[in-house]
């Protein structure tokens, strides 16, 4: 993978992720989240995982983001804009510091390991190998995921089945 491509994609990804968190309008957050996911799909493509990149584009940037935006459209967004962040600014500074501490704690452990480059990097797998592994080695996980999705579909309908709409007509 070329360093130039990786660095530019990384910078764009970090900027979009920060904008997701910091934008006051939730719709703008949703837009930047979709852009960050598309950017991440490019990174997956660069990491020679084209199937995962395609699934990322379809499932995340397509389906999940459409779901987010449609639910946002149900809500009244106007009143939340001035109080988008919880707590007072001092507490938020401490929250930022704790997130930075999390980042520092994991990455200091990471950089204490030696250089691990070139462990046969760059081998590309075709989709046939992916499907074969999915249906042999991971068949139980695959079936369990199917059951989970069925439960989720039933549960989501049961949760939002209560009478009345989101707005008084």
Partner 1 sequence: MIASTITLHHCLFLSILIFSIGAFGVLVRKNIIVILMGIELMLNAVNLSFVSFGYFNSSLDGQLMSFFVMTVAAAEAGVGLALAVTVFKKFKKIDIKLFETLRD
What mask of x and - would describe binding to partner 1 in positions 75 to 114, judged by CB under 8 A? Answer: xx--xx--xxxxx----x--xx-xxx-xx--xx--xx-x-
Torsion sign (Cα): 47, 50, 51, 54: positive
Q: Which residues contact 60 (CB under 8 A, 6 or more apart)?
A: 37, 41
Q: Which of 25, 31, 35 is nearest to 85 (CA)?
A: 25
Q: Is 64 in the site for partner 1 (CB under 8 A)?
A: yes
Taking the least distance from each CB to partner 1, the nearer of 111 and 169 is 111
Locus of tokens 């009244």: 76
Q: How far apart are CA 121 and CA 48, in angstroms?
A: 10
Cα torsion 83, 88, 93, 94: sign? negative
Site size toward partner 1, by CB under 8 A: 86
Which two three-digit tokens encode residue 43? 């990174």
Q: How many residues does the chain have?
A: 169
> Does the footprint of partner 1 cover residue 154 (CB under 8 A)?
no
63 contributes a contact to partner 1 by CB under 8 A: yes
Does 42 engage in binding with partner 1 (CB under 8 A)? Answer: no
- Residue of 88, 122, 128, 169 interacting with partner 1 (CB under 8 A): 122
Residue whose CB is less far from partner 1, 14 or 169: 14
* 135 touches partner 1 (CB under 8 A): no
Which residue among 8, 139, 143, 156 contacts partner 1 (CB under 8 A)? 156
Among positions 54, 136, 140, 152, the unique one binding partner 1 when judged by CB under 8 A: 152
């Amino acid at each position: 993978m070329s360093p130039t491509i990786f660095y530019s994609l990384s910078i764009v990804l970090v900027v979009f992720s920060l904008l997701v968190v910091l934008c006051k309008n939730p719709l703008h957050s949703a837009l930047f989240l979709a852009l960050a996911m598309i950017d991440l799909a490019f990174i997956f493509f660069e990491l020679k995982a084209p199937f995962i990149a395609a699934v990322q584009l379809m499932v995340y940037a397509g389906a999940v983001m459409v779901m987010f935006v449609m639910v946002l459209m149900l809500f009244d967004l106007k009143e939340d804009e001035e109080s988008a962040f919880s707590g007072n600014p001092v507490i938020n500074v401490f929250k930022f510091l704790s997130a930075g501490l999390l980042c520092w704690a994991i990455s200091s452990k990471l950089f204490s390991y030696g250089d691990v480059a070139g462990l046969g990097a760059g081998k590309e797998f075709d989709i046939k190998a992916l499907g074969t592994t999915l249906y042999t080695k991971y068949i139980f996980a695959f079936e369990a995921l199917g059951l989970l999705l069925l439960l989720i579909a039933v549960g989501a309908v049961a949760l939002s089945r209560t009478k009345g709409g989101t707005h008084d007509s």
